[in-house]
Every structure is written in C-alpha cells, then in structure tokens.
C-alpha cells in the first residue's frame, strides 16, 4: 500500500516536472508557473489527467494548440504513464484543439480550412523574441561602462539561470551558443551585431523584454480575475 | 477640466463605449461567444482597483445616466470619443454600434465624438453604408477590429486590396483617424494575429491618415514601437495600458510608459479609459499623480512633466480631432524634442 502510494506520488511529481518544461511560447514561461495547469493527477495504474486553462475564452488558438500539444507530448514521454487525458477547458476552440491533439492531427488537420501551415515558424518567431528579451536580462547585471559589448562572448558572462535560458533558446533555434560565441547577435541569422547597430539592438532587446513581461503581467492578472484566486 | 496642484488638464477620453451585452441581445446559437466576450471584458476590469469593480450583471448593460456620471460628473472627462465594435454575429443589435453611440451623443451636445467602423468583407454595400453613417453622424474617425468574425471568416487584414478601397473611401469622406484594434483570431490561424505589419503597410500607403494603434499593439509592443519610429502618422492608444497596468502592475506600467516615451515621444500618445471596462476617474487622477519610479531599474527612462501629461491626457487627441481647447490650456510653444528612438 505505502509502496504503491509512493510510486503514485513519484509519478505525479514526474508528470508535474514534465509540464514544467512546457512553455507558453508567447510569454516564454512554463505553463505551471503561469497557473495554466488547473488539474494534474496520476493514479496508481499510471493514468494521468491534466486540465489546462487560459486567461481568457478568446486567447489565440494557435498558441493554445501548441501548449496542449506540447503538454501531451511531454506527459506521454514520462516513464510509467499508461494513459493520458489532457484537455484545454473554458476556451472557444477547446473542442477542436482537444480532439485534434488527441488524434495527433496537427494544427492544419485540426483547423480544417482555417490554417495553411503548422506552427513551426510561429514558434521560431517567438523563440527569436525570447533570445532578444533574454539578452536584455543577462545584460542588466553588467557594468556596461567597463565592458566592450560588441566583443563580449557568452563565456565572459557569469553563470546564471538567465544565461542558461538564453543559451537554451539559441540552441533550439540553431544559433551559436558556445562559450566563444558573441552575446549580441541578430536572432534572425546569428550574425554578430556591429558597433554601428549597437544602440538600436539594445533598444529592441529591452523593449522586447518589457513587452513580454507586460504581457505576462496582464495574462496573470486576467487569469486571477477569471478564476477569482488570490482575492483580497 | 481636471485640476490638480494648480495645473489644469483638458481630458479627452479617446476610447469609450456604450454597449449592450445583455442576454436579450445574444444571437441564438451564438450564446457561448456572446457570453465569452463580455466575461473576457469583465475579467479585464479585475485589473483595476477593487472599489471600481462592477457585478457582471451591471457590466453587461449600463444606463446612459450611469455613463454620463462616470465620465463627466465624476470621471473628469471633457470630451469622450466613441469607438464602436459591431460584433453582429454574436449580438442581435450589435455590441456597441455607431447608431447606439450616435443617438446618445445627440442627447448631449459637445460631450462626444462619434466614430464609426467598417468591415472590408462587406464589399460595395459596406462602402455605401460607411458613406451613409459618416453623413448621418459626422464621423472623423473609424475604429477597426481586424479579428471580428463574419460567417466562417476569422478576421481580415489591412494589407488586403479590399481594405485599401475602404481606406481610400475614408480619405474621400474626410475621415482622418483610423483606430486599429488587434484581436486573437485572423485568417490563417497559424499566423500571429497580433502582427502589426499590416498597419505599417496601410500607414505607408495612406500618409494623410492617422493610425492610432489601440492598446499600443499589446501584446506586440516591441513591433509596434519599432514600426511607429518609421511611420510619422502612427499613434499609440493607451487604452488598456493605463487601465490594465497602472494599478495591477505598476512597475510594468512604468516600463511600458518609458518605452513609449523613448520610441514614440509625448506627441504620439493618446489617453483612453476604455469605459465600461474601466472608469476614467481613477485613471485620470492616478496618471496625473503618477511618476517614473526613482529606482536604478528605471534609470533608462525620464520623468514625465506636467506639460507631457497634459498632451497625453487630452491635447494630442484634441489635435487629431480638431477639438476646441480652452485658451488657458493651449499648448505652450516649446522646443521640439525628438524621441530618442527615432533613427536619424
């Protein structure tokens, strides 16, 4: 009995950890931190139930689809999981998305006639934004008066979770991400930022981060208002 | 006119609504969308101060008396600009139409500016309807909602030839201001519906029209800011920025204001309370009292002056809509300061 319960708890933890790896592609934050996981349960037979929720009934269906599909992939890959029941709730396209993900139909197959391509380029676009925002985050801690920014490499920077996150996003895009590679690159093609473009690049990196964090703030506030949590 | 610490502010609320989202107005078979829409708006209200929250019943439909009190008696607003959103697919008589706004405006001369809207998917009939509404209500602006559903369509783009025809018609009819509101669904759904590049396209092709991008392009502030530095006729509508961030997320509010001042500058920012999502009173009072935090995290951004706040709260919108500004509040001649974000 105790052994079975422990195994069940361990499975639950593993499923939660898998969901931790699922990002809102637009906000570049885990769905777990954002409060998008309403229910996560695992029984002793390895059957997993996950319910996802979003800040509004009309959140963009493309990003919603990516999160449900990514959650489905991540949970199925957890050892010990026998059955997965993942659904998005309280959303105008929930039925279409849930059915499409469960059947592995892809985005175009799920939204017949309403979409012309899968979501890879959308995801890549937002990863590039994450690289810009992440660049501003790692720069914030530096004394810029003493650093030559255009020749600064990833290896020159102190280790930090923000730096790991930036390297990870660059790796996913196939952009240079080793110690000797420059920090400041054009996220479209990986080319180093020339001195003449420095001011503009830093401005864009900063506003991208501000935009991303402001959106995250609005989304978190809307989710709280929608589900009436943390009131008072 | 709002007065604080001896300074006077002519307040133009450039984004207001008189809507009916009550169940009696829901289209049969579309109830879940009609309900989902108004509940979504209501959740936005949750980002304002608690004492300004309404019940969902009050929020679905409110009276003319309440609106007049909230805007003009208590909200410090001098002139408010109606921004209609039809949504006739979900609401029988429309959600917030030019006609409903116009009828209210006629009962209160001098208080409102009546904007209309168009949908390029309506073809020639839509062009005729636009001309009729402009003639009837004297519109100087339109509010466009590109994510509006129509039949099986999930939205439209300002890049389309159909939209070009409508914008040309606007110019012919004397409409100057095009307010653009982006939403989450536009065909095809695999693209980013919030992409503002179609506004860029239209702003380049119609240099005599002003394009006010509502809620500053949120959630694509970065694209919006960069685009606005390249297009002199692009403005930022602050609806949602003040209402959604100033109270709930003050540090993000400060950063967004800092970025908008950096990239666009004080002459391009247009206040709007977005009533009935948020009442104007706390926004006007709060914005006049607000200042950039004195903290190293905000050291990239400048403090706001009274003259800048006067422009943002009303004088900029008054300029776009040729509103009469009280003589004492005419903007003083100042040396022009280029925003730093504008590339030379």
A82 and A51 in a common domain: yes
B220 contacts in chain A (CB < 8 Å): 211
Q: Residue A143: what pLDDT?
A: 77
Residue B34, helix vs strand vs coil: helix
Range of the domain at A59: 2-118
Confidence of residue A232 (pLDDT cuts 50, 70, 90): very low
Find the mean pLDDT for residues A221-231.
82
Same domain, A112 and A27: yes
Residues of A in contact with B181 (CB under 8 A): none
CATH code: domain of residue A97 = 3.30.300.130
Cβ-based contacts of A108 with chain B (< 8 Å): 190
- Which of A118, A153, A183 is where one domain is finished? A118
Neighboring chain B residues of A206 at a CB cutoff of 8 Å: 259, 300
Which superfamily is assigned to B7-326 in CATH? Metal-dependent hydrolases (3.20.20.140)
Q: Dihedral of CA A149/A153/A154/A155: which sign?
A: negative
pLDDT higher than threshold 80 for residue A172: yes
Which pLDDT belongs to residue B335? 62
Q: Are A200 and A101 contained in the same domain?
A: no
Residues A106 and A206 occupy one common structural domain: no
pLDDT of B63 > 70? The answer is: yes
Is pLDDT of B266 > 80?
yes
Q: Sort out which chain B residues have CB atoms less than 8 A from A211's CB and list them.
A: 218-222, 256, 259
Task: Let me know whether A99 and A151 are in one domain.
Answer: no
Pick A214's closest partner by Cβ from B185, B187, B245: B245
Residues of B in Cβ contact (< 8 Å) with A203: 262-263, 341
CB contact, 8 Å: A134 with chain B? no
Q: Which of B32, B184, B240 lies at the smallest CB-CB distance from A60? A: B184
Asked if residue A191 belongs to a domain, the reply is yes
Average pLDDT over residues B111-119: 98
Name which of B32, B188, B240 is nearest A115 (Cβ-Cβ).
B188
Q: Using CA coordinates, name the residue in chain A closest to B47.
A: A221
Same domain, yes or no: A20 and A95: yes
Same domain, A101 and A160: no
* Among the partner residues A56, A115, A221, nearest to B47 by beta-carbon distance: A221
> Which of A72-76, B273-277, B299-303, B331-335 has the lowest average pLDDT?
B331-335
pLDDT at A146 over 80: no
Q: Is the dihedral of CA B50, B51, B55, B58 positive or negative?
A: negative
Residue A181 belongs to some domain of the structure: yes
Q: What digits encode the pLDDT tens for the residues A83-104?
A: 999 999 999 999 999 999 999 9
Task: Give domain status of residue A232, yes or no.
Answer: no
Interface residue of A218, A223, A227, A230 to substitute, partner B, most B CBs within 10 Å: A218
| Per-residue pLDDT, A231 | 46
C-beta atoms of B192 and A62 within 8 A = yes
Q: What is the mean pLDDT of residues B216-221?
A: 94
Number of domains in chain A: 2
Chain B CB contacts of A117 below 8 Å: 188, 190
- The answer to whether the CB atoms of B189 and A62 lie below 8 A apart is yes
Best interface-test mutation with A: which of B34, B56, B219, B245 has the largest number of A CBs within 10 A? Answer: B219
- Number of helical (H) and strand (E) elements in chain A, helices listed first: 7, 5
Residues A17 and A75 in one domain: yes
Interface size A-B, in CB pairs within 8 Å, comes to 127
Q: Is residue A164 predicted with pLDDT exceeding 90?
A: yes
Does some domain include residue A227? no
Residues 6+ apart with CB under 8 A from A200: B343
Between A49 and B330, name the one with better pLDDT: A49
Q: Nearest chain A Cα to B215, which residue?
A: A215
CA distance A27 to chain B (A): 10
| End-to-end CA separation in angstroms for chain B | 38
The CA-based dihedral angle spanning residues A117, A121, A125, A127, taken in that order and rounded to the nearest 10 degrees = 120
Check B222 against A207: CB less than 8 A apart: yes
Interface probe for A, chosen from B85, B190, B292, B339 (most Cβ of A below 10 Å), is B190
ipTM: 0.93
> Quick one: pLDDT at residue B57?
97
Residue A49 lies in a domain: yes
Q: Which residue of A has its CA nearest to B31?
A: A92
Q: Kindly state whether residues A200 and A129 are assigned to the same domain.
A: yes
Q: What pLDDT sits at residue B344?
A: 46
> pLDDT > 90: what percent of chain A?
90
| Closest Cβ opposite residue A62 in set B37, B152, B190 | B190
Q: What is the mean pLDDT of residues B216-240?
A: 95
Structure tokens at B215: 């809620």
What does the mean pLDDT of chain B come to? 95
Residue A147's pLDDT band, with cuts at 50, 70 and 90, is confident
The 10s digit of each residue's pLDDT in B21-40 is 999 999 999 999 999 999 99
pLDDT of residue A4: 73
Nearest-neighbour CA in chain B from A204: distance (Å)? 7
Would the pLDDT of B336 be above 70? no
Report pLDDT for A141: 78
Model confidence at B337, pLDDT cuts 50, 70, 90, reads low
- Quick one: how far is CA A41 from the chain centroid? 22
Percent with pLDDT over 70 in chain A? 97
Is A83 in the same domain as A156? no
Q: Collapse the DSSP code of A192 into the 3-class scheme (helix H, G, I; strand E, B; otherwise coil) and give the result.
A: strand
Sign of the C-alpha dihedral computed for residues B168, B173, B179 and B181 taken in this order? negative
Residue A24 lies in a domain: yes
Which residues on chain B are in Cβ contact (under 8 Å) with A125? 192
Looking at the structure, tell me whether residues A110 and A156 fall in a common domain: no
Pick from A83, A118, A153: which residue ends a domain? A118
> What is the average pLDDT across B66-89?
98
Looking at residue B342, its pLDDT comes to 56
> Residue A119: its chain B contacts at CB < 8 A?
190
List chain B domain ranges: 7-326
Residues A27 and A96 in one domain: yes
Question: pTM (2 decimals)?
Answer: 0.94
Reported as a pLDDT band with limits 50, 70 and 90, residue A144 is confident
Residue with tokens 């392009």: B217
> At CA B116, angle to CA B279 and CA B210, rounded to 5?
90
Judged by a CB distance cut-off of 8 A, whether residue A227 touches chain B is no
Q: Is B192 in Cβ contact with A122 (below 8 Å)? A: yes
> Rounded CA gap, B267 and A55, in Å?
33
Where is the domain boundary, A85, A118, A151? A118
């Amino acid at each position: 009995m105790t052994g079975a319960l422990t195994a069940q708890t361990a499975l639950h933890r593993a499923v939660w950890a898998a969901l931790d790896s699922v990002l809102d592609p637009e906000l570049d934050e885990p769905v777990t931190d954002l409060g998008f996981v309403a229910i996560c349960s695992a029984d002793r037979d390895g059957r997993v139930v996950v319910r996802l929720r979003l800040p509004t009934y009309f959140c963009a269906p493309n990003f919603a689809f990516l999160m449900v599909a990514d959650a489905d992939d991540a949970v199925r890959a957890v050892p010990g999981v026998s059955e997965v029941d993942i659904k998005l709730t309280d959303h105008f396209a929930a039925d279409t998305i849930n059915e499409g993900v469960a059947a592995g139909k892809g985005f175009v197959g799920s939204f017949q006639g309403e979409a012309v391509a899968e979501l890879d380029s959308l995801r890549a676009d937002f990863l590039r934004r994450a690289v810009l925002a992440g660049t501003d985050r790692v720069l914030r801690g530096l004394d810029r008066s003493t650093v030559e920014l255009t020749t600064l490499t990833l290896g020159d920077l102190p280790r930090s979770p923000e730096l790991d996150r930036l390297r990870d996003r660059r790796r996913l895009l196939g952009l240079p991400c080793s110690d000797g590679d420059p920090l400041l690159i054009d996220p479209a093609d990986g080319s180093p930022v020339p001195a003449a473009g420095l001011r503009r690049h830093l401005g864009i990196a900063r506003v991208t981060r501000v935009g991303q964090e402001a959106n995250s703030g609005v989304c978190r506030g809307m989710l709280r208002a929608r589900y009436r949590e943390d009131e008072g | 006119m709002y007065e604080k610490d001896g300074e006077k502010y002519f307040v133009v609320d450039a984004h207001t609504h008189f809507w009916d989202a009550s169940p009696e107005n829901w289209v049969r078979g579309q109830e879940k969308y009609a309900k989902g829409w108004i509940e979504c708006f209501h959740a936005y209200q949750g980002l304002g101060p608690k004492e300004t929250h309404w019940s969902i019943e009050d929020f679905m439909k409110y009276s003319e008396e309440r609106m007049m009190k909230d805007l003009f008696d208590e909200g410090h607003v001098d002139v408010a600009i109606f921004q209609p959103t039809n949504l006739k697919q979900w609401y029988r008589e429309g959600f917030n139409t030019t006609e409903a706004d116009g009828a209210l405006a006629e009962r209160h001369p001098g208080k409102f500016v009546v904007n209309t809207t168009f949908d390029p998917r309506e073809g020639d009939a839509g062009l005729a309807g636009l001309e009729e509404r402009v003639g009837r209500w004297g519109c100087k602006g339109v509010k466009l909602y590109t994510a509006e559903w129509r039949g099986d369509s999930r939205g439209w783009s300002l890049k389309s030839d159909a939209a070009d025809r409508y914008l040309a018609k606007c110019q012919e009819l004397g409409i100057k201001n095009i307010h653009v509101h982006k939403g989450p669904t536009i065909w095809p759904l695999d693209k980013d519906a919030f992409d503002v590049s179609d506004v860029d396209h239209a702003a380049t092709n119609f240099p005599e029209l002003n394009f006010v991008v509502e809620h500053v392009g949120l959630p694509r502030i970065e694209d919006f800011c960069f685009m606005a530095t390249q297009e002199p006729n692009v403005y930022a509508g602050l609806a949602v920025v003040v209402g959604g961030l100033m109270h709930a997320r003050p540090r993000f509010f400060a950063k967004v204001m800092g970025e908008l001042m950096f990239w666009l500058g004080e002459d391009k920012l247009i206040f709007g309370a977005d009533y009935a999502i948020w009442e104007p009173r706390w926004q006007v009072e709060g914005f006049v009292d607000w200042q950039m935090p004195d903290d190293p995290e905000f050291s990239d951004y400048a403090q706001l002056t009274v003259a800048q706040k006067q422009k943002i709260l009303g004088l900029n919108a008054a300029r776009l809509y040729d509103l009469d500004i009280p003589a004492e509040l005419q903007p003083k001649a100042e040396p022009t300061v280029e925003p730093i974000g504008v590339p030379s």
